[in-house]
């Protein structure tokens, strides 16, 4: 599917870092839209649509609420800038703790990767058990990117158990039972991203999924449980 990709205006001060683009099909009617495939979810489950946008485009910020620890969330592509460039935006990386800097830098991703992650996550959302059915145009749009969708087929990226859409509803401040996960936590792109149970994502930690599987296999072996 060829996309419009016309530049979308923005009043964000970070507009110079990455220009945003219309993701509608080329030759579409009506106005341009950066997240057209989220329109339906925005109506029926706005929390989920917002989570997809946020997880795709922003760094996480769980532990960074205090002023000395740094920004809470920031656009992932802004984290591609070097310290000097960030300083010109008022972001003093050298004033942050080294662990915080490492965490922020690890979350860096290009604008295009973030956009594709948002699409991929939406593709997974609609395939969750108990998810709303996507309108046909959105279904076709997402399938043209990532292949055929099968209702109810989305499983946790870590433990492989079915991941119910209802888990989104149970989200509490700071402890949603469902999180975005990465096969390799250091790579934020469409191929590498999944949803996972919070406890699974926490257990995986900063290991790649393959490292995690090897690690727990070693544990079971040493504990005499294999």
Residues that bind a second copy (CB under 8 A): 99, 158-161, 175, 199-200, 202-203, 205, 213, 215-220, 222-223, 225-226
Q: What is the nearest approach in angstroms of a second copy to the Cβ of residue 122? A: 24
Q: What is the nearest approach in angstroms of a second copy to the Cβ of residue 66? A: 9
Nearer to a second copy, 63 or 151 (CB): 63
Q: Which of 219, 220, 224, 194 is nearest to 209 (CA)?
A: 194
Q: What is the nearest approach in angstroms of a second copy to the Cβ of residue 159? A: 5
Distance from first CA to last CA of the chain, Å, rounded?
48
Distance, in Å, from the CA atom of 47 to the CA atom of 82, rounded to the nearest integer, reads: 33
Q: What is the nearest approach in angstroms of a second copy to the Cβ of residue 129? A: 16
| H-type alpha helices, 107-208 | 111-125, 136-146, 198-204
- The three-class DSSP label of residue 182 is strand
Q: Which of 124, 121, 179 is nearest to 151 (CA)?
A: 124
Distance, in Å, from the CA atom of 126 to the CA atom of 117, rounded to the nearest integer, reads: 14
Nearer to a second copy, 76 or 103 (CB): 103
Nearer to a second copy, 133 or 160 (CB): 160
Residues forming beta bridges with residue 25, ordered by sequence position: 3
Enter the tokens of residue 143: 């399938």
Q: What is the nearest approach in angstroms of a second copy to the Cβ of residue 160? A: 4
Nearer to a second copy, 11 or 173 (CB): 173
Q: What is the nearest approach in angstroms of a second copy to the Cβ of residue 187? A: 19
Nearer to a second copy, 104 or 200 (CB): 200
Nearer to a second copy, 13 or 160 (CB): 160
Nearer to a second copy, 95 or 205 (CB): 205
Helices 111-125 and 136-146 sit at what angle, rounded to 10 degrees? 120
Q: What is the nearest approach in angstroms of a second copy to the Cβ of residue 3? A: 35
Distance, in Å, from the CA atom of 27 to the CA atom of 6, rounded to the nearest integer, reads: 11
Q: What angle is formed at CA 190 by the lines to CA 105 and CA 56, rounded to 5 degrees?
A: 55
């Amino acid at each position: 599917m060829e996309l419009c990709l016309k530049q979308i205006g923005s009043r964000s001060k970070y507009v110079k870092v990455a220009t945003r683009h219309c993701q509608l099909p080329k030759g579409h009617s009506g106005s341009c839209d950066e997240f057209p495939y989220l329109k339906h979810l925005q109506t029926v489950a706005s929390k989920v649509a917002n989570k997809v946008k946020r997880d795709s485009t922003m760094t996480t910020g769980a532990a960074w609420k205090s002023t000395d620890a740094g920004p809470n969330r920031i656009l992932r592509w802004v984290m591609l800038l070097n310290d000097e460039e960030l300083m010109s935006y008022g972001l003093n990386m050298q004033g942050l703790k080294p662990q915080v800097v490492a965490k922020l830098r690890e979350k860096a991703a290009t604008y295009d990767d973030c956009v594709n992650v948002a699409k991929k996550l939406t593709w997974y959302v609609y395939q969750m058990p108990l998810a709303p059915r996507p309108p046909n145009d959105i279904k076709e749009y997402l399938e043209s990117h990532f292949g055929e969708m099968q209702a109810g087929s989305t499983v946790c990226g870590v433990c492989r158990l079915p991941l119910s859409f209802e888990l989104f509803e149970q989200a509490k401040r700071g402890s949603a039972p469902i999180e975005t996960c990465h096969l390799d936590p250091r790579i934020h792109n469409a191929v590498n991203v999944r949803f996972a149970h919070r406890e699974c994502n926490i257990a995986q930690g900063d290991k790649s999924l393959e490292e995690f599987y090897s690690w727990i296999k070693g544990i079971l072996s040493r504990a005499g449980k294999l």
